[in-house]
Structure formats: structure tokens, C-alpha cells
Structure 1
């Protein structure tokens, strides 16, 4: 009656400053059943980073071959280096029955949605735009011009919430994690995931 359980592809994204990294780290600390997706990059390893653990470190040529061969769910170039999500790593993890989470930007999530529509897409939203601005300002790392640019991008990204399956407000980290855990539990109980 029930098929072998395949893992869930969870995609967590939202505007810069919403707390994706913080929520994802807290989720991973509380939920050992979720594997974190390891990205590929062309940047050099930093001290202490391990290939296959922190990133899959690739030459520029090897990364471009991965792009040409369609081996990436999504990719982007940032500050002269490529970053992307290897399709084979995600597929192998899911086939083993393990859930995997991608913490990516909204544009990357759009690419993953096109390539992997059966994924579970979760938009992490701020309680308000003012709170998002406060979080970015409180980092103390951005100029006023950069803050204004980020806020303009955030407003555009909030318009894309309709492409997500769920919206989780990050008003408080533990509450946001609990909501995501509830989504994972519910998704594992979906009839179409359980039956032949």
C-alpha cells in the first residue's frame, strides 16, 4: 500500500536580512533528519573548509561544464565566482529517503521550482518591512544607499510570495523553526507521497 519514502526537497528563501541563515541553522540543530545542501563554488577554500562538507570546490572550467551539462538545479555568479546547487547531490540524498534543505535567494528558488516542481517551497517573511529595515540597519555593515537598494529588492521579492507553497513569518526564530517542522511533518503525510 505504501511506497518507499523519498526525501523532501525543502527550499527556504526570502529577502536579504530576513534571517534565513539563522532559522536554517536553528532548524538543523533541532532536526537531525534534514540534510543541508552542499553548494558548488569556484572560490578558493577558506582555512578549515573541507571539500564536500562546506562546498564542492570546482575549477571555473569544471563548473562551466556542469552548467553546460545541466548538472545544477540553480547557479549564479557573484563577485567573480560561481555558486550553484549540484543536481546529483540533491537527487542522491532524496533517493536515500533523506530530506534536504536549500537555503537560497528568491531568484535561485525560481530556477529550482522550474527544475523540481515537487519540492516544498517556503518563503521566510519579515514581520514588516520596517522590521526588515531595522535588522539590516542593526547589522551595521551597510551604507544608507545599500540599505535602500536592499529594501527595494525586498519589496520586489515579497511580490513573488505567490510562487511558494508556504509563508513562514520570522517574528521569532524558535517559532519560525516550529512552523517549518510542522510543514515538514504535514508534507510527509500527504497522500500522494505515501501511496502508489
Structure 2
């Protein structure tokens, strides 16, 4: 089996993006309605578009998933995933469970879902250490149990607690080597 797309999912502050970065694969360029930050380039960091355009793309079936965060939309286009599957070069992304499930159902043999698990207390602590406002931490942690339950759809679950960071990194390194050989 040859995977073209590695999808990381898990609760806020579980370490999804960190493990994705350690994997070292090119990442899927997703879409957002927020304005570019200084230094960000359209098509490299994100595809930047208006809320209305992203809503229309979603209604038209051109987006696999779309989520709102801090008043902005974020999503993944179906065409970008098709291009990855057809291109053969493995890539990675971070997604919510619904989007990950949709991709897995469309491309079951080419998609590897990697769940990232950590305790609720550790996620809360990590968010606080990032300087996240208390009410935002509370909002993000409200979905923790559901997000942990949704990991049951994953092909692989990596425990990414502080005490298991070395193991988590080693698993990602083995995955990377397997994908690139």
C-alpha cells in the first residue's frame, strides 16, 4: 500500500502541527478567508479568498471541509486532494475529524489518518503556555472528549504527551522513512 496523503487529527494543542512538521513532507495548501499576515504568500501559505467565495465553493462541492475559527473560514479543496492523490508525491495536512473522514472515504487506499492523543490537562496547559486567553482555552477544551472519541476512525494513534515526546518523534520518523522509500 502506498499512501499519498497523511492526515493528522486530534484535539487543540495535542501536537498535530508539530508532528506534521516532524514528518517533513510538503503540506497541503489549504484555504482561508482571513487576511494574509506579513510575509505570507497566496498559494504557498494558504489560498486566500473571501468568506463568500469559500461558502460558495463549499455549497458547490468544491471543498471537502470548511471550519470557522475566530471569525474566519479554513478549509480544504477537493481538487487539491485529487491533485495529491494523482501526483504520487506524499503530502500531509491537519484536519478536523469530519474532513479527515470524508477524505478517507473518498480515497481509502491512499490516505493514512494519524490521530494525535494527549490528556485534557496537558492540552489545557499547552494552550495556556501559548498565551491563549482563558475563555478561548475553555472554548477549545469543550470539544475535547468528542475529539478524542473521533480518533477511533484513525489508522494510527500517536500518544503525544510530554513524557512520550521521544516515542512520538520516533514513530513519525519511522513513518517518514517508510513513505519516502
Please classify the TM superposition score into its range, dividing by the shorter chain length: 0.7 to 0.9
Name 2:8's counterpart in structure 1.
12
Query: What is the Cα-based RMSD across aligned positions, in Å?
Result: 2.7
Name 1:136's counterpart in structure 2.
127
Task: Give the conservation status (yes or no) of the 8 Å contact 2:68–2:74.
Answer: yes
1:91 to 68, 77, 82: 82
Task: Give the conservation status (yes or no) of the 8 Å contact 2:5–2:84.
Answer: no
Q: How many residues align?
A: 178
Closer/same/farther in 2, CA of residues 54 and 154 from structure 1, 3 Å limit = same
Task: Give the conservation status (yes or no) of the 8 Å contact 2:33–2:48.
Answer: yes
2:149 to 159, 163, 174: 159
Task: Give the conservation status (yes or no) of the 8 Å contact 1:37–1:100.
Answer: yes
Segments of 5+ residues of structure 2 without an aligned counterpart are none
Name 1:121's counterpart in structure 2.
113
Closer/same/farther in 2, CA of residues 76 and 116 from structure 1, 3 Å limit = farther
Q: Distance in 2 between matches of 1:59 and 1:155?
A: 32
| 1:104 counterpart = 2:95 | yes
Segments of 5+ residues of structure 1 without an aligned counterpart are 29-33, 190-196
Larger radius of gyration: 1
Closer/same/farther in 2, CA of residues 44 and 149 from structure 1, 3 Å limit = closer
What is the TM-score normalised by the length of structure 2?
0.81
- CA offsets, 1:70-127, max 9 Å, x none? 111211233333211112122212212111111123343234334443311010111x
| 1:179 counterpart = 2:175 | no
Q: Distance in 1 between matches of 2:59 and 2:136?
A: 34
2:159 to 157, 169, 189: 169
